[in-house]
Structure 1
Amino acid sequence: MKKQVLTGIKPTGRIHLGNYIGAIKPALQLAENQSYNTAYFVADYHGLTKIHNPIEMKELSYGVAAAWLALGLNPDSATFYRQSDVPEIFELSWILSCFAPKGLLNRAHAYKSLVEENQNGGKEVDSGVNMGVFTYPILMAADILLFQTELVPVGKDQIQHVEIARDIAESFNKQYGETFVLPEYVIQEETSVLPGLDGRKMSKSYNNTIPLFEEPNKLRKLINKIKTDSSSPEEPKNPDASVIFALYKEFASSDQSEEMRRRFQQGIGWGEAKKELFNVMNSFLEVPRLNYEELMTNRDRLDAILLNGAIKARKKTIPFMKEIKRKIGMYH
């Protein structure tokens, strides 16, 4: 039996390097392995926790879809869909919410972070927190469990969500017998927390990201903004402690990476290192960037691909939802 892989990206901003290195790249690598069934989705309902402008939501959703395809996702061999086109996800989300302890959700990182931010700012504890933010882990659990997912490629900050999905699945299985597969997360340890332009975690909320399909001149300027230390060009540098090298090796060949590692250890100026990073990134992204731009001008094609993916997805989700509803006494 092939293992099921699933991952999604929410449309809350332009696709950036953190999205690619933390989720898209490892997911596409798994797709190349014939041992896996792969499912990828545009997490548009997850994006609704932040994006309340319909034009922006549509544009960002198309951007996520175009990014997956431009970077090599094959919709014929994978299941590729828009979350909002698979209603069983949201039906399951309610069922799972009845097995999710509130205390578990209180400990979810995203919610805790907002609460702490409010407390530090002297605000009401739940100021600015909508129920979508609070119950986000339940909807993510539904995404994962509905597809009987075994492997979930995620960034390090998303590990907890996979663990919450396991906890909820175990609670359901204990009550109704073996139903859900218990998922495992997959991360790239070396790039599990990718630094942004300012040295903090690369995040849209910090405004320190590098958009993946940025045009060359702007890409060069952003790379030049990456924070570095004050060491002189001739001083040896530790490649494993460098944002520049961490990004470089994600786009370079193994031979190029080894050569760059040697240059770091012998001494290289930060300006030269940033130039080399731009060259290798721009070369890698040249064709995907063109594919992305072409897809973004052909929305009908994107819609057709996503709707076909939803039809494929529902061939799996509809029968499984019937099984779940039978178990809880709501389907005959």
Structure 2
Amino acid sequence: MGKTVLTGIKPTGQIHLGNYIGAIKPALRLAENESYQKAYFVADYHGLTKIHDQNQLKELSYGVAAAWLALGLDPDRAIFYRQSDIPEIFELSWILSCFAPKGLMNRAHAYKSLAEGNQRSGKDVDAGINMGLFTYPILMAADILLFQSELVPVGKDQIQHVEIARDLAESFNKQYGKIFTIPEYIIQEETSVIPGLDGRKMSKSYNNTIPLFEEPKKLQKLINKIKTDSMPAEEPKDPDSSVIFALYKEFATIEQTVEMRRRFEQGIGWGEAKKELFGVMNSFIAEPRLKYDELIANPRKLDAILYDGAKKARKKTIPFLKEIKEKIGIYQ
């Protein structure tokens, strides 16, 4: 049996280029290795930490599922499920919480960032922070450990979550003997931080994203908003410091990328560079966009695929959780 690779995406906004380049693309590339066992999921309960509107959460969850499928995920060759359909994840989350030091949660990046922001603005340190957000890393550890995942593709900002999963697994194994697999993270260094419209990391929090399945006219307008400097067209430009080039190479062929690098170094106008970026992106997205729109219009089809994936998932999670419970002295 090959190594198990696990990737999930949280439905807190429309799927954007950062999601695709940082998570979906590397995960699907790993899927090309036939020796790997693949598990992909829609992290809808993670989304609940921020979204409390029923219809919005449902629509965004379908959007994540449709994106995976439109971009090439084959549910017959992987386990593809919705997090909320696997109750064993949440039972394990409670078990792991009993091994998680509160100090470790205090140091988790998402909580620490919000708490420090509250302090700077003179608010109560925990203002606006719910327990779901505080314990988010424990639920993520349950996602990873329940499937005995060995490889977890993540962006740099997610490394800490895999490290917390490792800490909890090692703590449990030390107490009860080896039961959890110790996961490793995989990072694509060259795409670990995807720049957004303003040059900062592409993030829904910064409102600087480019939705992946945007229709052509809107896509062109968003690309035209990408922040650039005032260098004249004929001036040589450094492709490695350019947001436009960073995005271009993710959708272009090797030959196109080499040629675009040459044009940057010899001098290319920003308007022309943005036009070229739109060309390769729109060409790449055209077919997936059609499939995505078709799936979004058919939620019953998405439900059927996800329910089938949950059945496959629970063939693994039910017996493994039983084994974990026996280790801690809870028998069924």
TM-score by length of 1: 0.99
Q: Deviations over 1:235-287 (max 9, x none)?
A: 11111111100100000011100110111111111110000000000000000
Deviation at 1:165, TM superposition (A): 0.3
Q: Deviations over 1:69-125 (max 9, x none)?
A: 000000000000000000000000000000111111100000010011101111000
Partner of 2:63, secondary structure, is helix
Determine the structure 2 residue equivalent to 1:268. Answer: 268
Determine the structure 1 residue equivalent to 2:103. Answer: 103
Asked if 1:232 is matched to 2:232, the reply is yes
**Percent identity at matched positions?**
81
Deviation at 1:195, TM superposition (A): 1.0
Determine the structure 1 residue equivalent to 2:77. Answer: 77
1:2-17 equivalence runs, <5 A:
2-17=2-17
Q: Distance in 2 between matches of 1:175 and 1:230?
A: 60
Partner of 1:212, secondary structure, is coil
Determine the structure 2 residue equivalent to 1:171. Answer: 171
Asked if 1:59 is matched to 2:59, the reply is yes
Q: Deviations over 1:192-237 (max 9, x none)?
A: 0111101111100110000000000000000000011111111111
Asked if 1:68 is matched to 2:75, the reply is no
Determine the structure 1 residue equivalent to 2:22. Answer: 22
Asked if 1:185 is matched to 2:153, the reply is no
Q: Distance in 1 between matches of 2:291 and 2:176?
A: 47
Determine the structure 1 residue equivalent to 2:126. Answer: 126
Q: Distance in 2 between matches of 1:174 and 1:183?
A: 16
Aligned residue pairs total 332
Q: Distance in 2 between matches of 1:243 and 1:101?
A: 40
1:194-233 equivalence runs, <5 A:
194-233=194-233
Q: Distance in 2 between matches of 1:196 and 1:120?
A: 26
Q: Deviations over 1:151-202 (max 9, x none)?
A: 1111111111000000000000000010111111111101101111011111
Q: Distance in 2 between matches of 1:71 and 1:265?
A: 32
Determine the structure 2 residue equivalent to 1:296. Answer: 296
Deviation at 1:41, TM superposition (A): 0.3
1:246-285 equivalence runs, <5 A:
246-285=246-285
Unaligned runs of 5+ in 1: none
Matched letter for residue 23 of structure 2: A
TM-score by length of 2: 0.99
Asked if 1:306 is matched to 2:292, the reply is no
Deviation at 1:301, TM superposition (A): 0.5
Deviation at 1:331, TM superposition (A): 1.5
Matched letter for residue 133 of structure 1: L
Matched letter for residue 328 of structure 1: I
Q: Structure 1: which 4+ aligned runs deviate by more than 3 Å?
A: none
